[in-house]
Copies of this chain bind each other. A is one copy, B any other.
Amino acid sequence: MVSFTVTILGSSSALPTLNRFPTSQVVCLNAKLFLIDCGEGTQIQLRKFGLKVGKINHIFISHLHGDHIFGLPGLISTMALGGKKGVLHIYSHSELKAMMDPLLKFMNEMEDFKVVYHPLNFRSSAVIYEDATLQVESFPVKHRIPCCGFVFREKQHQLHLRGAQVEFLKIPVRDRVAIKNGSDYYRPDGTKVLNSELTLPPDPIRAYAFCTDTVQRKQIIPVIRDVDLLYHEATFGEDLKDLALKTYHTTAKQAAEIAVQSGAKKLIIGHFSSRYKHERLLIEEARSVFPNTFAANDGERFEL
């Protein structure tokens, strides 16, 4: 299977701490990099964790609060100074362009490099990106301002050929793609060989869901069902459940409930309030509901 990873660049909530930068993550599938959110210092974290700024062509922005976007001007400037060509696609609330344009007006280096903004849909889920191997779907969550989560889902893989059978029947290379896509095979004498005799099941489809910032929102469950890895914010513990509700955030226990109910295989929690000196309590709270829970820590890489 090709590599499918999520690297945490920042895991704080609004106030960064000595160990946590504001929210940002890199999804890497098959050596393609996708950035989710871009808090202040994202370009510094990318460099620190050995990820090439210039390889990012798609950025997904959940919402327009500063701790999710204030790294964008610096990142875009650095891309331009580094000689990046072509188009950088940013999927976000439509107002982002008006926020960024005044900051980038002094950049002379952007002649062959363009930023294209794609507005998100905050009413219903929508496929916003697709390539040969991946589909990204946005879905509304509920925060103080319009906010979306994202699911990164692999597309259906091809079937695996049974090598020995293919060799024995001397199936020409030109016919193999059709078989990998499910066709039966007809031998030169017209005999039909069933696809099931020639193939093994494809690799499983892997999926990653990212949900922040939001109150606990059960409506997202159908969209994120059965993901291999779920990142869900857990700004507070249950001790501050009322504050979580008031500020449109989630507690660690509530995040774990979403993981249970959506059938996630593994949960990462993050976006911790700076009042928690250590994430241990939040992790314990989540694990009491969903044992396979881990804390997002800057620099950590999760493999799907």
Contact = CB atoms under 8 A, between A and B. Distances in A.
A18 interface: yes
Interface in A47-62: 47-48
Interface string A212-234: 00000000000000000000000
Interface string A61-101: 00011110011011001100110000000000000001100
**Number of identical protomers:** 2
A127 interface: no
A15 interface: yes
A23 interface: no
Interface of A: 14-18, 21-22, 40-41, 43-44, 47-48, 64-67, 70-71, 73-74, 77-78, 81-82, 98-99, 102-104, 106-107, 145
Given A43-B40, A48-B18, A71-B40, A102 B107 contact: no
A104 B103 CA distance: 13
A48 to B, nearest CB: 6
A78 B47 CA distance: 24
Contacts of A15: 78, 81-82
A106 B68 CA distance: 12
Contact of A74 (B44, B70, B99, B104): B70
Nearest to A66: B77
Nearest to A53: B15
Given A40-B40, A47-B16, A74-B40, A106 B66 contact: yes
A178 B223 CA distance: 78
14 contacts: A16-B43, A17-B47, A21-B44, A40-B44, A40-B70, A41-B44, A66-B77, A66-B104, A66-B106, A67-B74, A70-B70, A70-B74, A99-B102, A99-B103
A286 to B, nearest CB: 25
Q: Which 6 A-B pairs have the closest CB atoms?
A: A40-B74, A99-B102, A66-B77, A70-B74, A41-B41, A70-B73
A231 to B, nearest CB: 22
Contacts of A65: 106
A62 B281 CA distance: 45
B47 A103 contact: no
